[in-house]
Amino acid sequence: MSKVWPLVRLGEVLTPVRREESVDPLGEYRLLGVRLDGSGPFLRETVTGSQTAATKLFRVAVGDFIYSRLFACRGALGVIEEELDGCYVSGEFPTFTPVPNRVDVQFLRYWFRLPAVIARVDADCSGSTPLTRNRFNERFFVALEIPLPPLAEQRRVVARIEELAGKIQEARSLREHAAKEAGVLYSRARDDLFASLHCDRKPISELFHLVNGRAFKPEEWQTRGRRIIRIQNLKYQDAPYNHFEGEVDPKHLVHANDVLFAWSGQVVSLGAHIWQGDQAILNQHIFNVRSKLELLPAFVKEGLNALVDEMKTQVRGLEMFHIRKQEVDKLPFPCMSIAEQRQVVAELEALQSKADTLKRVQMESGVELDALLPAILDRAFRGAL
């Protein structure tokens, strides 16, 4: 059953505090920021006094409640935990201490994660210039009214919220692990399939021309012209492209369905991809894998990635890796008829479809998990938890 708690102004249960200190050029200062969406304060950087333009800073203490004037409308509020005790902030971070036996700051922290509360903060933010827009004035902060039960009830509610939040996080971790495992299972199945193929295998040098990309200098990058394909563009769909408008050697041009093989950089980025975009230009550290025989792009891509997985097991622990062309040329690649290649590709596509389905289900469950905490908080502050 919901309970009706009295509304109390924050100014009645929180006291402003300013532990001002003049900056010593030789002193060391741990400076804080406050993350958005109720994620709380964090250690931004440690500097000496000579490295900051500030002439005074404000020390915070464990149990303080703090917010960012500039980003309060986006949930930049929180509590100073023990590991941040004694850190410093600028005057843009109003700080308060709780009135003894009136409010639990953790109860307050969760209240500020309610969408309706943040909407009220956003409505109270003022300013019409880039320098003042969205600053949340202290007079609006202390005027906010919070439904406030007795301190013992506040602590019970906080404990219950944290218990349920812990279960949500556990479920989210399991979901993320399952989604990651789906990709791993596909890779293992593909690697096992290529290892078990009963067919001739020939060195890559006999089957492919490996054409390395052009070594662009940063000053050559432009905002117009053909896209330049870099390793990050192969690994991340939303990675920005650089462009080049000038003439290039035709061997560096990439066309749809070309197989591109990243051979240098972070180990997690190594591997083959099929280019599906418009004509583009290949950057260095990527091979354009051009078949000398009739080979399906999908078969080539998956076969190369199976070989890469084998190489990765030999360099486990390294973050960066470089595969030399003479090493790639010697790797044995399966030789099969087009019909047999199509059969292998179809089997892999079926496996990929299952993996994608699992990932989609996990993503949908993630959306449901994300909606649970706001629902829990809503019940908590209606006295129904």
pLDDT in tens, 167-214: 877 777 776 766 666 667 888 889 999 999 999 999 999 999 999 999
Q: Are 175 and 369 in contact (CB under 8 A)?
A: yes
Return the amino acid letter for 266.
Q
Residue 293 has pLDDT above 70, yes or no: yes
Mean pLDDT of the chain: 88
Q: How many residues in total does the chain contain? A: 385
3-state secondary structure of 13: helix
Each residue's pLDDT tens digit, 233-261: 998 888 999 999 989 999 999 999 999 99
- What average pLDDT does the segment 334-347 reach? 94
Each residue's pLDDT tens digit, 27-72: 999 999 999 988 999 999 999 999 998 999 999 999 999 999 999 9
CATH number belonging to domain 7-148: 3.90.220.20
Residue 83 has pLDDT above 80, yes or no: yes
Task: State the pLDDT confidence band at 127, using cuts at 50, 70 and 90.
Answer: low
CB neighbourhood size of 326 (10 A):
8
Six-digit token string for 43: 């250690």
Q: Are 286 and 260 in contact (CB under 8 A)?
A: yes
Residue 318 has pLDDT above 60, yes or no: no
DSSP label at residue 222:
B
Q: Worst-scoring range by mean pLDDT, 19-23, 74-78, 229-233, 306-310?
A: 306-310
Share of the chain above pLDDT 90, in %: 63
Give the H/E segment covering residue 34: strand 28-35
Which residue, chain included where needed, has tokens 């922290």?
A: 109
- pLDDT of amino acid 42: 95
Which residues, listed in sequence order, are joined to residue 287 by a DSSP beta bridge?
Answer: 212, 261
Return the amino acid letter for 79.
V
DSSP label at residue 99:
P
CB neighbourhood size of 377 (10 A):
24
Separate counts of helices (H) and strands (E) for the chain: 10, 23
Phi then psi dihedrals of residue 344, to 5 deg: -65, -45
Six-digit token string for 158: 């906080």
Instruction: Tell me which of 190 and 372 has the higher pLDDT.
Output: 190
- pLDDT of amino acid 265: 74
Q: Are 220 and 247 in contact (CB under 8 A)?
A: no
Instruction: In whole angstroms, give the CA distance from residue 260 to residue 87.
Output: 49
Residues 6 or more apart in contact with residue 192 via CB below 8 angstroms? none
3-state secondary structure of 347: helix
- pLDDT of amino acid 105: 94
- pLDDT of amino acid 209: 95
Instruction: In whole angstroms, give the CA distance from residue 44 to residue 77.
Output: 15
Residue 160 has pLDDT above 70, yes or no: yes
- pLDDT of amino acid 130: 47
Share of the chain above pLDDT 70, in %: 90
Q: What angle do CA 229, 233, 238 make, to 5 degrees?
A: 135
Burial of 370 (0-12, 13-18, 19+ CB in 10 A): exposed
CATH number belonging to domain 200-334: 3.90.220.20
- pLDDT of amino acid 113: 92
Long-range contact pairs involving 116-124 (C-beta distance under 8 Å, separation at least 24): 117/144, 118/73, 118/74, 118/75, 120/144, 121/72, 121/73, 122/73
Give the H/E segment covering residue 369: helix 338-380
Instruction: In whole angstroms, give the CA distance from residue 5 to residue 381.
Output: 9
**Structure pTM?**
0.57
Residue 380 has pLDDT above 80, yes or no: no
